[in-house]
Amino acid sequence: MTAGLFDLAGKTALVTGASSGFGRHFAQVLARSGARVAVTARSRARLEPAAAEFAGRGGEAVLLSMDVRDRASIAGAVQMAISELGQIDVLINNAGIAMSRDALDWTEHEWDEVLETNLSGAWFVAQAVARHMAARQQGSIINVASVLGVRGSGRAAPYVVSKHGLIGLTRALAVDMARHGVRVNALAPGYFVTEMTGDFLASRHGQAMLQRVPMRRFGELDDLDGPLLLLASTAGRYLTGAVVPVDGGHAMSG
């Protein structure tokens, strides 16, 4: 009865911020589970390595340029994805940026850049895709938040605000979209080893942070596969408005 519960064969997905890190990994996981995938980044050229990975596994990705801070760019990319895929069943709203500054040192430009990318960008992409999903009365939107959207942290004020806001957006959209057959949930990853974080997590400061993680290890990208597929597939058909921390217990630690 549970065979194929997490299977995405015949489904399609759009993944934003897919040139590296979580987004690139998510696209591969969805494809391995049977979905046809469109991947986006501000620069289409940055997606070429991901395309090569798909080709090496016998698949094919649709590569699209999208700047989530530009509504015209979003509209064009979403329409192109629909044209190429026929429909969008799953949206992984992953595009985002992070910076580290003392609270007194943030500039207005930096604040705006983080909020426009991580929160406003996620909202406008979700809205554009949700209109398409609502017309079809089905779909799953997965916003990629953060453990810092559940708890706080120093030296990251706009990032923390953006991720708290993204969780609020997830819950609000879940209520609005339920009558349209569209589920809206969020993943809240903790600290994961990626090409961007590897050096920091291996440093003295990173190892000190490790002591705050009850499971006493940082996340590996594969740790996100199960939660992602739960939210994307029919396995999670009665889940909406949920925030799933994948953080080794970090959000619960003192």
Backbone torsion region of residue 112, taken as left when φ is above 0, otherwise alpha when ψ lies between -120 and 50, otherwise beta: alpha
The CATH code of the domain that includes 51 is 3.40.50.720
3 in a domain, yes or no? no
C-beta atoms surrounding 58 within 10 Å? 7
In a domain, 207, yes or no: yes
pLDDT at 74 > cutoff 60 = yes
Q: Is residue 216 part of a domain?
A: yes
- pLDDT band at residue 198, thresholds of 50, 70 and 90? confident
CA distances 193 to 22, 200, 224, Å, are 10, 9, 12
Count of domains forming the chain = 1
Active-site residue, selected from the candidate residues 124, 159, 191, 192: 159
Residue 123 lies in a domain: yes
* pLDDT tens per residue, range 75-108: 999 999 999 999 999 999 999 999 999 999 999 9
| Domain that includes residue 117, residue range | 12-246
Q: Is 191 designated active site?
A: no
